[in-house]
Amino acid sequence: MKRNILITGGAGFIGSHVVRLFVNKYPDYRIVNLDKLTYAGNLANLKDIEDRPNYLFERADICDFDRVREIMRKYEIDGVIHLAAESHVDRSIKDPFTFARTNVLGTLSLLQAAREYWNGDWEGKLFYHISTDEVYGALELTNPEGVEPPFTTTASSSEHHLAYGRDFFYEDTKYNPHSPYSASKASSDHFVRAFHDTYGMPTIVTNCSNNYGPYQFPEKLIPLFINNIRHGRPLPVYGKGENVRDWLYVEDHARAIDLIFHKGRVADTYNIGGFNEWKNIDLIKVIIRTVDRLLGNAEGTSEHLITYVTDRAGHDLRYAIDSSKLQRELGWEPSLQFEEGIEKTVRWYLDNQAWMDNITSGDYERYYDEMYRNR
């Protein structure tokens, strides 16, 4: 079957993996990548597929309603996979307006453009919105039956896994966002569901845990720390490093998006996560060990770089996603164990230093500004 799919934010971290997967797997689909190329968007993330006949790129802002409408019409879009967003919590604390603009108004602009273009003919159409587990708020580090966390549980998945608390985020967990980032994502999720409930638009929302892997912008914990270790720079650990995050390899998220786009139930919500909770400081020690080993340094060489710094304002204590609905209903499961995923990730960043250096020097931004100035 032929399809014309608009992927927004395809030049970013997760978006580039989704674009790559769809372009490679579905030669009959036309994949249109709409991206503004903010500081986080980088076309070098898509070098390997940029010449494919089923791939097109449009530099546009999702907030530019007329442009989005024109792109929907021009490519006869029948499916939208919406990833474009401002995505970094620390930036949202400094500049919440940009987050409200892109994440809330930008999503509304896309929804409204799709509604106008599809004009009530919903057959074969889908608006799929990618969201985060952060909308659910923060979980406690609880201590059931006097057992010190972490403890193993089978309560939420078929496998035993380490957990730092009794509770998990489920699809019906009440939204309770704390950061401007998560508040803006929560708001956009509500708009997507409102477009289904009010106009009948076929929509799906998924909420995923923290992703890691190649092409992540080095302001996020894992690529930042790998790069800092390589340069012998301090590793700024917020607070005591006690916060817990639930990590998923980015290609497993992309596979889940593919599955849900094709087989997911319209108007439904799916949580995506790998039952893989880590306390930041433990994760950081794994990263240090892996980088040191791959660089040929003696074990423990870079431990002294750990530097405890002032905590992030409103820092959510624990995220833990229950993705058993997705596993049960659509048969998805993560393909990688965390140790393999981290090894692969560290290797990728060490092998692709030119990619990292290009970003940290700011060269790529100047290049795109020049290239697109008169378009």
User: Which sequence positions are flagged as catalytic?
Assistant: 133-134, 181
| Residue 169 bridge partners (DSSP) | 321
Task: Answer yes or no whether residue 227 interacts with ligand TYD by CB under 6 A.
Answer: no
Q: Is the peptide bond before 236 cis (omega within 30 degrees of 0)?
A: no
Strand partners, 151: 163
Nearest-5° angle of CA 5, CA 7, CA 8? 145
Per-residue interface string for the shown chain with ligand NAD, residues 17-36, x marking contact by CB under 6 A: ------------------xx
Instruction: Give dist(CA 121, CA 136) in Å, integer.
Output: 33
Beta bridge partners of 130: 206
Q: Which of 271, 268, 233 is nearest to 253 (CA)?
A: 271
| Binds ligand TYD (CB under 6 A): choice among 237, 288, 321, 359 | 237
In the bound state, the residue with its beta carbon closest to ligand NAD is 12
Please give the Cα distance from 132 to 142 (Å, whole number): 22
Residue 38 or 179 having the CB closest to ligand NAD: 38
CA-to-CA separations, 307 to 24, 219, 286, in angstroms, rounded: 42, 16, 16
243 binds ligand TYD (CB under 6 A): yes
Distance between CA atoms of residues 39 and 354, nearest Å:
17
- Tokens, residue 332: 């998805």
**Smallest separation (angstroms) from ligand NAD to the CB of 26:** 20
When asked if residue 226 is in the footprint of ligand TYD (CB under 6 A), the reply is no
Phi/psi for 241 (5° steps) reads 75, 20
**From 3, 5, 7, 9, residue interacting with ligand NAD (rule: CB under 6 A):** 9
Q: Is 153 helix (H, G, I), strand (E, B) or coil?
A: strand
Under rule CB under 6 A, residue 180 binds ligand NAD: no
Told to check if 83 binds ligand NAD by CB under 6 A, we report yes
Q: Strand, helix or coil at 209?
A: coil
Stretch that binds ligand TYD, among 1-9, 93-101, 219-227, 348-356 (CB under 6 A): 219-227
Our CB check for ligand NAD shows the closer of 100 and 305 to be 100
Residue 250 in contact with ligand TYD, rule: CB under 6 A: no
Q: How far is the CB of 224 from ligand TYD (least distance, A)?
A: 5
102 binds ligand NAD (CB under 6 A): yes
Closest distance between ligand NAD and the C-beta of residue 209, in Å? 7
Query: What tokens were used for 179?
Result: 């950061």
- Which segment (6-14, 22-30, 66-74, 291-299) binds ligand NAD by CB under 6 A? 6-14
Looking only at residues 86 through 115 of this chain, which bind ligand TYD when binding is defined by CB under 6 A? 89
Out of 3, 23, 29, 61, the residue judged to bind ligand NAD by CB under 6 A: 61
Binding of residue 210 to ligand TYD (CB under 6 A): yes
Distance CA 257, CA 297 (A): 38
Residue 221 near which of ligand TYD, ligand NAD, none (CB within 5-8 Å, type-dependent): ligand TYD
Within 305-334, the residues that bind ligand TYD by CB under 6 A are 312
Q: How far apart are alpha carbons 66 and 57 in whole angstroms?
A: 17
CA dist 148 and 326 (Å) reads: 29
- Is residue 224 part of the contact set for ligand TYD (CB under 6 A)? yes
Q: How far apart, in whole angstroms, are the C-alpha atoms of residue 324 and residue 170?
A: 9
What does the DSSP 8-state code read for residue 238? E
Rule CB under 6 A: choose which of 36, 82, 196, 220 binds ligand TYD: 220
On whether the CB atoms of residues 292 and 229 are closer than 8 A, the answer is yes
218 vs 356: CA distance, rounded Å: 8
Between 196 and 289, name the residue whose CB sits nearer to ligand TYD. 289
Binding residue (CB under 6 A) for ligand TYD from 39, 238, 367, 368: 238
List the single partner that 84 binds among ligand TYD, ligand NAD, none, CB under 5 to 8 Å by kind. Answer: ligand NAD
Alpha carbon of 63 to those of 8, 77, 247: distances in Å? 12, 18, 30
How far apart are the C-alpha atoms of 374 and 214, rounded to whole Å?
31
- Name the site residues for ligand TYD (rule: CB under 6 A): 89, 210, 220-221, 224, 236-238, 243, 245, 280, 312
- Name the site residues for ligand NAD (rule: CB under 6 A): 8-9, 11-15, 35-38, 40-41, 61-63, 83-87, 102, 106, 130, 132, 185, 208, 210-211, 217
